[in-house]
Amino acid sequence: MALIPIIFIPDPVLRRVAAPVREVTDGVRQLLDDMAETMYDAPGIGLAAPQVNVSERLIVMDCGPDEAPELHKMINPEIVARSDETAILEEGCLSIPKQTAEVKRPAHVDVRYITIDGTEQMMRCEGLLAACVQHEIDHLDGVLFIDHISRLKRDMIVRRALKELRQVNGDD
């Protein structure tokens, strides 16, 4: 297991459509393990492969400890059904440091994905897990949570995040 450096905005890898995984190899399983370790270390509740500079359709999530504390590793996840009912939850992103915004999304979704054993599985996601899985699958399509809010809020969040990153890098 190893930590992988997290990629921040405005890196173009975050805006690329990630490629489907063709075969579940030991390399894929190792990457998912490393992504999970990186997510827990951050700490965060979800991480998509483009956020560690790998443009492939892989995500990890763990919405614990309060809600659904379980590590999920998903290969080629796809939303196959969305509720009409919506929910508004506060979201953040490890690639957009220290910024959050309220995002409105379907309240529950059904997700189809490939497990680390290479079998197809379906999962009904509700509550925080529903927001999280939609946020992570968005990453695989080059979409960030700031794309779901007003332009005014988006510009403000991007400005603040970039300032945060400059301070972390010591060039401010």
Which of 3, 24 has the CB closer to Ni ion? 3
Least Cβ distance, residue 143 to Ni ion (angstroms): 10
Cα 61-116-129 angle, rounded to 5 deg: 20
58-97 binders of Ni ion (CB under 5 A): 93
Q: Please provide residue 75's backbone torsions phi and psi, each rounded to the nearest 5 degrees.
A: -110, 130
Contact 42, 6 (CB under 8 A): yes
Least Cβ distance, residue 117 to Ni ion (angstroms): 26
Which of 93, 125 has the CB closer to Ni ion? 93
Least Cβ distance, residue 103 to Ni ion (angstroms): 11
Chain centroid to Cα 54, Å, comes to 13
Radius of gyration of the chain (CA): 16
Active site residue 136: yes
Cβ-closest residue to Ni ion? 93
Most distant pair of Cα atoms in the chain: their distance: 49
4-23 binders of Ni ion (CB under 5 A): none
101: contact with Ni ion by CB under 5 A? no
Which helix (H) or strand (E) segment holds residue 126: the answer is: strand 120-126
Which helix (H) or strand (E) segment holds residue 90: the answer is: strand 86-93
Count, residues near Ni ion per rule CB under 5 A: 1
Least Cβ distance, residue 94 to Ni ion (angstroms): 6
Which of 100, 121 has the CB closer to Ni ion? 100
User: Which positions are catalytic?
Assistant: 136
The residues of the shown chain that bind Ni ion, judged by CB under 5 A, are 93
